Structure 1
Amino acid sequence: MHRRRRTALVLSAAIAAAAPLLAACGNDAHPGAAAVVGGRRITVAQLQSRVDEVRRAQRAAVADETQYQQAVAATGALTRDTLHQMILDRVLDRAARDAGVTVTVREVQTMRDGLEKQAGGAEALRKVWLQQYGVPPQRLDENLRLQVEAQKLAAKLHTDPSRPAFWKALSAASDRLHIDLNPRYGSWDVQKSGADAKTPWLRETAAAGQQAA
């Protein structure tokens, strides 16, 4: 009887010792990470910081609480959407790098000048990018760099972002990055995430390609 009890205690201790290892092999393989992309973590804190940037910009852009709450309601899935867009942007970067595509500061400024002219000024452009795409003002140049990058990648592939060839390149880049998404933010599928994303470099570049066709 005592021997059985000792055996049970030993087994209990072994299970307790193994529990952290088992957890590490499950959904919490990267504690504190919202996702791991190409071996680099996007931490929950980094994700929340990006979400907070958008919320602060939305708060500053509206006159009263009702308008702010309407903006929040329109972006109810902001945390999940922001993470998927952060991943998609890294996938684009990888696909562009694999294709030998680079972007200069001058190209980004040229893009910005043209968009400001279309929008009716710098402030109007910042407002459009915030309202339509959830891009806060301090992220505008970074976002425009991605838009230039997408255009140049599409041109290198002799296609546009609405075509299968473009998504084949992004899917291949996504596979090479071995993306590990924390299940609390959904599952990762580069094509589905691209179809759902409110990503300027995707929508605006595709529209430009259709206009040029």
Structure 2
Amino acid sequence: MIRTSSAVRHARTAVGVLIAAAALTACGGTAHPGAAAVVGGHRIPISEVEAKVAELRTAVAAQPGAPAAEPAGLTKRTVAELVLDQVVTQALSDRQLSVSQGDIARTRSADAKLLGGDDALGRALLLKQGVPAGDIDSFYRQQLGIQKIAAAEGKDARTADGDAAVRAALTAAGAELKIQVNPRYGRWDAQQVSLTDAAADWLPQPTAAA
């Protein structure tokens, strides 16, 4: 888990299973040929998913000491992350909130300084969070969005109450967007805010406090 001194310091830990599963997809309904998912009428093409998976594979393979085996469920996780990005954006919009490029730049700069530079930050995000260079801003936008959603409810996303507030907000936003997912990638469980048949999580899990 990346340790930062910024707003995203414990974001993935804070939202627990929500981010670990990274799953906001829906049970399939209307057929959408060539789509991995449809969120609020917006198609996420299978080709986009495949391109992102290929980018991540290439980036990881280029790193010294990269793991030989590919993480399980990589394609499903990619679909779920793309959908989650849009659900977080909808939840922010519902609260008249947004994450600016300035917010992202400040947080990213602070994390890079803490870790020893942009290259060190990029490597940590790639190997520990599965975020390739081209998706770093999206990663920060999502995590900062989660923090703002919790704050809008007077909560801290690092707490159990904050986690519950974020889950409720994203559940409502997902319902509003009428998410559909290609059955090959899973089935959306609105109550659990997760894929019912998602592969086991492959990102580092938070360590329980001593």
| TM-score scaled by length of structure 2 | 0.73
CA distance in 2, matches of 1:78, 1:192: 15
| Alignment partner of 2:148 out of 136, 145, 152 | 152
Q: Using the TM superposition, give the Cα deviation of residue 45 of structure 1 relative to its aligned residue in structure 2, in angstroms.
A: 0.6
Contact 2:36 2:182 in 1 (8 A): yes
CA distance in 1, matches of 2:201, 2:106: 25
Q: Structure 1: which 4+ aligned runs deviate by more than 4 Å?
A: 195-200
CA RMSD of aligned residues (A): 2.8
Q: Using the TM superposition, give the Cα deviation of residue 50 of structure 1 relative to its aligned residue in structure 2, in angstroms.
A: 0.9
Q: Using the TM superposition, give the Cα deviation of residue 136 of structure 1 relative to its aligned residue in structure 2, in angstroms.
A: 0.3
2:101 is the counterpart of 1:105: yes
Q: Secondary structure at the match of 1:81?
A: helix
What corresponds to 1:123 in structure 2? 119
Q: Using the TM superposition, give the Cα deviation of residue 28 of structure 1 relative to its aligned residue in structure 2, in angstroms.
A: 6.9
Q: Using the TM superposition, give the Cα deviation of residue 160 of structure 1 relative to its aligned residue in structure 2, in angstroms.
A: 3.4
Structure 2 counterparts to residues 47-126 of structure 1, below 5 A = 47-62=49-64, 67-70=66-69, 72=70, 75-126=71-122
Determine what percentage of the aligned residue pairs are the same residue.
36
Contact 1:119 1:125 in 2 (8 A): yes
Matched AA of 1:103? V
Contact 2:128 2:203 in 1 (8 A): no
CA distance in 2, matches of 1:198, 1:106: 31
What corresponds to 2:10 in structure 1? none
Contact 1:85 1:197 in 2 (8 A): no
Change (3 A) 1:27 1:177: closer
Residue by residue over 1:31-87, the C-alpha shift from the partner in whole angstroms, topping out at 9 and shown as x without a partner, is 111111111111111110111110111122236xxx4524x2xx1210011111111
- The answer to which structure has the higher helix fraction is 1
| TM-score scaled by length of structure 1 | 0.72
Gaps of 5+ in 1: 1-25, 205-209
Q: Using the TM superposition, give the Cα deviation of residue 171 of structure 1 relative to its aligned residue in structure 2, in angstroms.
A: 0.3
Q: Secondary structure at the match of 1:69?
A: coil
Q: Secondary structure at the match of 1:102?
A: coil
Q: How many residues align?
A: 172
Q: Secondary structure at the match of 1:117?
A: helix
Q: Using the TM superposition, give the Cα deviation of residue 96 of structure 1 relative to its aligned residue in structure 2, in angstroms.
A: 0.6
What corresponds to 1:23 in structure 2? none
CA distance in 2, matches of 1:119, 1:86: 27
Gaps of 5+ in 2: 1-27
Contact 2:149 2:169 in 1 (8 A): no
Contact 1:154 1:160 in 2 (8 A): yes
Contact 1:112 1:144 in 2 (8 A): yes
Which structure has more RCO (C-alpha within 8 Å, separation ≥ 6)?
2
